[in-house]
Structure 1
Amino acid sequence: MEYTEYTCDVLVIGSGGAGCKCSIVASKNGQDVIMVSKGLTFKSGCTMLAEGGYNAVFGYVDEADSMQLHILDTLKGGAFLNDLKLVHDLVVESPKMLIELESYGCLFDRQDDGRLNQRAFGGQTCRRTCFKGDQSGHEMMLGLKEEIIREGVKTHSEIMITKLLFDENHTKIVGAMGIRLADSSIVVYHSKATVIASGGCGWLYPVTSNAVQKTGDGIVIAYEAGADMMDMEMVQFHPTGMVAPESRRGVLITEAVRGEGGHLINTEGERFMKNYDSREELATRDIVARSIYTEIQEGRGTEDGGVYLSVTHLPKEQVQTKLRTMVHQFKDVGVDILNEPMVVAPTAHHFMGGIRISRTCESNIENLFAAGEATSGVHGANRLGGNALADTQVFGNIAGIESSKRAKETELENPDEEEINSEINRINTLWTKGTYNPEDIKIEIREIMWKYVAIVRDEKGLKQAQTELTNLEEKAKDMNVQDYKEYNNDLINALEVISMIKLAKLIVKSALLRKESRGAHYRIDYPEKNDAEYLKSFVLNKNGDVTTIQRGLFDD
């Protein structure tokens, strides 16, 4: 069977913050790197869309800040489900990685004395979030892109990786394969080490802040290869996404709006967060999202299903300089946020679950590494705003170092040819005149997840989701994929549907196992946290095993 082949030392799947950082570090360590992106390189990840900032302990605004406080805030925010060692690495390495970003050319906002400025963010004891107005992720990607170019890293855009490849003895990963979106041709990569940095899965839901490519493909190919999945029930809903117009529904309204002093107000004119948490608008995201949900459900929301977020009481200069993107984002739809409130509602935002990694970013599969949102453990049951951008750089750096070490001590090996042929046959069998449109099945998946597996859950709904997802699996065997090669959306959607159903079922399975409420996982049939039985992470594997890892302040 015909296919195009590429060879490298380190293959990086994903071109967002974690993928770029990993590629840069691996290249600086003398490795030949190829960075593959499902969308346009640098533009299709969620880092580019991130607005609020990057958490790092400098103490430039609040001198009392410390590594210990950042660790404790992260653990409290994650409801103590975090991997303590990963949290330690995040906090300790984060400041160093921000300084490296500045060496690439990133420019973060300064105070009058020239030191970095830092703002307040939800769930944090001190002001430690470094930022570039409300364009922090965009600024990071500009610097990372420049460094990628300087390093001469090879980048491949619009290639959807569909399978990881084992060696002939089926003991370790020796590459990956997928399809080129432009012409549906098969591409095979041979590598000594492979890193998954493909991000999360926001598009399992109909309302999301994520880039359109984020359907969880990288997580699923790791699962199919036998990688352990952990904390799969933990899906974060950002409290504030746009509500209208429909074409903008779910688009992120940065936490920086509340960090700068924005107020959440219901239709009765009440600043309602004081009824839910003493930190008010700067409570953790899980609490703010559920509070907004409750206000809407109890009839104190707007007609279009939101609440108000207002900055009209703030100085206009502050809003125009610190929240410039928000001003233009709403001006584009006819809303002047200087003089009128925004309407907001929760939106699927970040996946705390994913591939279980060690401190060296390696999975339980030899030669397979992972970094960024595709991984689990760092953020526990709920991520603090500002920790994600730090996560991309800290663990992208570690993945770059460790994958380089592995590549230096490893010889290229041939993949199992039967695996390649099997995957080509799987893709080819999708070119059929079936009954169901793949896009319609996608919509059904999202509706199921939104109805039963979103902000509020219960056993009845989760079991109904299982049943309906199993029914969709049968439909997915009879999809209609038109027979043309150039940018065939039917084929891309069909491949995504198969992955999305698998991932959705893992989320539901893990949500049923956790019979308590913790962080982003809230069950109305078990509304309280239960440390005695559930201060532990659930680990799922393709072999059907379910294991647990005890959590808390003193895990081993």
Structure 2
Amino acid sequence: MDNRTCDILIVGSGGASLRAAIAAYEYNPKLRIIVATKGVFGKSGVTALSCSDRMAFHATLENTEPGGSDAWKYHADDIYRIGGKVSDYNLAAIMAKEAKDAFHYLDSLNVPFVKKNGIVDQFVTDGSDYARACYTGPKTAVHIQEGLLRRFSEITNIEVIPYCMVAKLVVRDNNIVGSIAIDTREKDPAKAAFTIATGAVILATGGGGMMYTHNVFPAPMTGDGCALAYEAGAELVNLEFIQIGIASTATKFNCSGSMMRAIPRLINEDGNEFLAKYFPEGTSLAEVYNILFKKGASWPVSYEHKTHIIDIALYKEVMAGRKVYLDYSKNPQGFRFGLLSEENQARYCREMSRDLGDEARKATPLQRLKEINPASIEWFKDRGIDLLQGDVIEVAACAQHFQGGVKIDTRGRTTVNGLWAAGESAGGQHGANRPGGNALLDCQVYGKIAGEDAAKQAKAIPVDDSVLAGEAATFIQNVEAATSGEIPARQARKELQSIVEESVGIVRTEAGLRQGIEELNAFSAKRFYIDGPGLYYFLENSSMITVAKLVLAAALLRDESRGPHLRFADYTDNTPIGRKDGEWEKYIVIKKVDGEMRLEKRMPQLPD
């Protein structure tokens, strides 16, 4: 068996991982650093593949409104307050204050942020009061990844291990001593497994969105970081808050912004418009279509925005077995452009890239999309969906971002010594809601912080690989036994996704969550076996089962609505129960103690 040793092991290869690796190297170029990624380095993960209407990097810069040296405090307040007061304010403050330096670092790497007259162009995103969103266009994340890769390519002494899945963290006396990893291309467990001895591990593996049937995550996003940390004894937080939004099922394109402000028809597979029937009886068409317009600026489902009725409607149609589409070929029933409020009409006009005239604007959603986002029409056409020819876009309520994760402190440290987390793997820095663009910012700020802090600590942490051989032997023995069983891994994944989608999707009820937990416990007790996709796929299922159990448990405990966590008294209701601020301005911390899951309601760190 191959045995490797390093000062710092970084798991993942997205924006947070690359920033952590670069920061660790820049702090101490003599460190032995390994970056392990399940896929092709630089081309796998969310940052390398994400695309949306206009992707944002949230930052308070020198010219950002409202201006002044303390403008970052408004950003911090948005993160904490709009987030539902269930994040740690000190983590939010660091993210807001360090945003300017994070932006300028990326700018120095020639990330092509849009500028006008030499000043960075910024716009208002969902979950913020001021225009802080910097962007390059639909591929802002991709451009950030490319900039970081250019800097990374200048570093010659960081070892990259592609096709490497870290399957287990080895801990002794609450200290990281190493990990067991596998080569994802190898099907024989004995040949696939190897060990990495290290006293410092940074988890930057992204979220676990693949546990949902409908998601916009790349295939490797199976919650490995959260599962590894939980099994290692670390605390996790805010796992019930998972952002879900309307996206194309074929392309995983988030249909936010102008895709909604063009006011398309929402139809099911029978060609029927269904949106109005989910609104309270007597709701005017003007209110329905103004809420649909506002959906563009509140894309993830959120209790705090009336637009959540659109997510509820779409989710229930899909759960009833009907496919759902956005149709831009003709206006929704009874729609007139004049039904939009003066405020919404003014916003529409500000977004126009060209003026086709009043008659065209009134004619169809397609003409409106030509005015405010013609690039999206070409984007879909390049991927086989020709809106100009009347094609419709199949959509669903898709999991998009895990707000919670492994609980970190201001240095990116977890509650296990020698273990850090950054990006979507980490938790506590975001609340229930998240200002649009803060995910990319988070990766850069806490990626740098975790990398530097690990570099400061790494040389002082002794590396002891004496226990790794025995742990690896046990690991191999366990997975070798999975060559036969009751359910093949490929089938198991589909069954798991079905349980998760139905019980902890948009509509969450006590009965549904309890049933989901019961089904998941019975499901996880079955004997799964490795089939065609191989060992890594089987192990990913194990990660997703662990994370699903954590999410369901947290969602059941929080008996209120907040952010993307919508609780209902009954599934037939279309109005979620309310927030309970007096009781629930707290977060849920989960930890494995003596082999059992423990949940604790805890006050977050508050503003001074």
TM-score (norm 1): 0.88
Aligned-partner Cα distance in 1 for 2:509–2:529: 34
User: How far apart are 1:23 and its partner, in Å?
Assistant: 0.3
Aligned-partner Cα distance in 2 for 1:110–1:309: 31
Give the counterpart of 2:501 among 450, 453, 472: 450
Matches within 5 A, 1:227-376: 227-238=234-245, 240-243=246-249, 248=250, 251-253=252-254, 255=256, 257=258, 262-263=262-263, 266=266, 267=273, 281-283=296-298, 285-287=300-302, 290-296=308-314, 304-307=323-326, 314-316=352-354, 324=375, 327-336=378-387, 344-376=395-427
Letter in 1 for 2:206: G
Kindly indicate whether residue 126 of structure 2 is the aligned counterpart of residue 122 of structure 1.
yes
Do the aligned partners of residues 74 and 93 (structure 1) sit closer, same or farther apart at CA in structure 2, a change above 3 Å counting? same
Aligned-partner Cα distance in 1 for 2:181–2:242: 27
Q: Please, which moves more after superposition, 412-421 or 537-546?
A: 412-421
Aligned-partner Cα distance in 2 for 1:523–1:394: 33
Do the aligned partners of residues 48 and 297 (structure 1) sit closer, same or farther apart at CA in structure 2, a change above 3 Å counting? closer
Q: Please, which moves more after superposition, 494-503 or 87-96?
A: 494-503
User: How far apart are 1:59 and its partner, in Å?
Assistant: 5.9
Do the aligned partners of residues 352 and 315 (structure 1) sit closer, same or farther apart at CA in structure 2, a change above 3 Å counting? same
CA deviations on 1:315-370 (whole Å, 9 max, x unpaired) are 35997997746632344223237998856442100011210111111111000011
Structure 1 residue ranges without an equivalent (≥5) = 483-487
**Structure 2 partner of 1:503:** 547
- What secondary structure does 2:529 align onto? coil
Kindly indicate whether residue 377 of structure 2 is the aligned counterpart of residue 377 of structure 1.
no
- What secondary structure does 1:151 align onto? coil
User: How far apart are 1:33 and its partner, in Å?
Assistant: 1.1
Aligned-partner Cα distance in 2 for 1:340–1:501: 37
**Structure 1 partner of 2:57:** 54
Aligned-partner Cα distance in 1 for 2:49–2:376: 11
Letter in 2 for 1:519: G
**Structure 1 partner of 2:26:** 28
Q: Please, which moves more after superposition, 300-309 or 466-475?
A: 300-309
Do the aligned partners of residues 10 and 73 (structure 1) sit closer, same or farther apart at CA in structure 2, a change above 3 Å counting? same
Do the aligned partners of residues 322 and 132 (structure 1) sit closer, same or farther apart at CA in structure 2, a change above 3 Å counting? farther
**Structure 2 partner of 1:425:** 477
Give the counterpart of 1:539 among 589, 595, 601: 589
User: How far apart are 1:257 and its partner, in Å?
Assistant: 3.7
User: How far apart are 1:296 and its partner, in Å?
Assistant: 3.5
Do the aligned partners of residues 332 and 548 (structure 1) sit closer, same or farther apart at CA in structure 2, a change above 3 Å counting? same
**How many aligned residue pairs are there?**
535
**Structure 2 partner of 1:199:** 206
Question: CA contact under 8 A between 2:312 and 2:506: conserved in structure 1?
Answer: no
CA deviations on 1:429-467 (whole Å, 9 max, x unpaired) are 22x232311111110111111111101100110011011
Kindly indicate whether residue 582 of structure 2 is the aligned counterpart of residue 529 of structure 1.
no
- What secondary structure does 1:315 align onto? coil
Question: CA contact under 8 A between 2:3 and 2:195: conserved in structure 1?
Answer: yes
Aligned alpha-carbon RMSD (Å): 3.1
Aligned-partner Cα distance in 2 for 1:409–1:262: 57
Aligned-partner Cα distance in 1 for 2:371–2:293: 28
**Structure 2 partner of 1:485:** none
Give the counterpart of 1:102 among 98, 101, 107: 107
Percentage of matched positions with identical amino acids: 27
User: How far apart are 1:390 and its partner, in Å?
Assistant: 0.2
Aligned-partner Cα distance in 1 for 2:598–2:76: 31
**Structure 1 partner of 2:521:** 470
TM-score (norm 2): 0.81
User: How far apart are 1:233 and its partner, in Å?
Assistant: 1.1
- What secondary structure does 1:89 align onto? helix
User: How far apart are 1:216 and its partner, in Å?
Assistant: 0.5
Question: CA contact under 8 A between 1:174 and 1:415: conserved in structure 2?
Answer: no
Aligned-partner Cα distance in 2 for 1:400–1:164: 19
- What secondary structure does 1:6 align onto? strand
- What secondary structure does 1:347 align onto? strand
Letter in 2 for 1:420: A
- What secondary structure does 2:463 align onto? coil
Letter in 2 for 1:49: L
Give the counterpart of 2:141 among 137, 140, 149: 137
Q: Please, which moves more after superposition, 25-34 or 328-337?
A: 328-337
